[in-house]
Amino acid sequence: MNPTILAASPLNPLFVAELSKRYTLIGPMPLDDLMAHPDREHITVIAAGGESKVPAAMMDALPALKLVSVMGVGYDGVDVQHAISRGALVTHTPNVLNDDVADLALVLMLSITRRIPQADAFVRNGSWAKGNMPLGTKLSGMRLGIVGMGRIGQAIATRAEAFGMSIAYTARSEKSALPYRFVPSVKALAADVDMLTLITPGGASTHHMINAEVLTALGPKGYVVNVARGSVVDEAALVHALSNGVIAGAGLDVFENEPHPLDALRTLDNVVLTPHIGSATGATRQAMADLATRNIERHFASEALETPVPEC
């Protein structure tokens, strides 16, 4: 009989398709229903997405739990320390999505400076016949500050180099092998660049890292692009900065309360918004589903997991 796997939340259909070929997939379900499920004591795997919540209580409902396999590189919704304390491991899907997320960061940088959504509307609604659009802002040659110089941060830097941008970054530690300037504080980095792009993990250590002080340091000609997690930005401070000329504009793929971004963000003209689509291409989502599934297959084959999270 196929092993039973619990879905922590609604999963990507490509992941569901891969899992359903091999296992009996149940859930998501409320904790009470899980406690009453006949397979509960035998379930060793939770399957999750990058935005799933996998709290201690869900893990504790499964006494045989050995693996939480996340289809996504971010896993801030998983209580990793609790998993470790229970003798379970957590895996994620790094690298296969670097290109797509980095591409989207450049798309947002270009869209906000060249006002691409407004330009598209300008052609569609006939405004062009009445005159030209107001001028945009040149991206090539801008000073770029990258907050988080990991796998995706480096893919963004490579692309930005092709745009002639000068690149500085902050991270927890300097990467001396990289040809980019390290700035230890995010506020000092903001003060020194035109475009601040965020690509750190979410979670407590980066919560509201971009606050009123950092936005003031970025200044009235500065832009923020967030492809990290909504929690990295104090959105109330961002709305204030965008509404009062403290910064010039923002491109946002992620929000504090998804899928319900603040009304104020949805009405501002100096923001470009996308619905958390950093890795959302067919090829990349399939590669993520395949990798998340391979980790589960390896668990059942008692082989070493392919991509455990660093804490594991």
Question: Could you give the residue numbers annotated as active site?
Answer: 229, 258, 276
Instruction: Decide whether 15 or 23 has the Cβ nearer to ligand NAP.
Output: 15
Three-state secondary-structure class, residue 227: coil
Rule CB under 6 A: is residue 228 a binding residue for ligand NAP? yes
Q: Is beta strand 67-71 parallel, antiparallel or unpaired with respect to 45-49?
A: parallel
Rule CB under 6 A: is residue 284 a binding residue for ligand NAP? no
Three-state secondary-structure class, residue 54: strand
Rule CB under 6 A: is residue 51 a binding residue for ligand NAP? no
Number of neighbouring beta carbons within 10 Å of residue 53? 13
Residue 113 CB, shortest distance to ligand NAP, in Å, is 19
Rule CB under 6 A: is residue 153 a binding residue for ligand NAP? yes
- Of the candidates 108, 97, 98, the one whose C-alpha atom is nearest the C-alpha of residue 155 is 98
Site string for ligand NAP, 243-282 (x = CB under 6 A): ----------xx---------------------x-xx---
Instruction: Decide whether 115 or 229 has the Cβ nearer to ligand NAP.
Output: 229
List for the chain the helix, strand, coil content (%; round to 5): 40, 15, 45
Three-state secondary-structure class, residue 17: helix
Rule CB under 6 A: is residue 230 a binding residue for ligand NAP? no
Instruction: Tell me the residue type at 3.
Output: P
Residue 172 CB, shortest distance to ligand NAP, in Å, is 3
Number of neighbouring beta carbons within 10 Å of residue 94? 18
Please give the residue ranges that form the binding site for ligand NAP (CB under 6 A): 73-74, 94, 97, 101, 148-153, 170-173, 199-202, 205-206, 227-229, 253-254, 276, 278-279
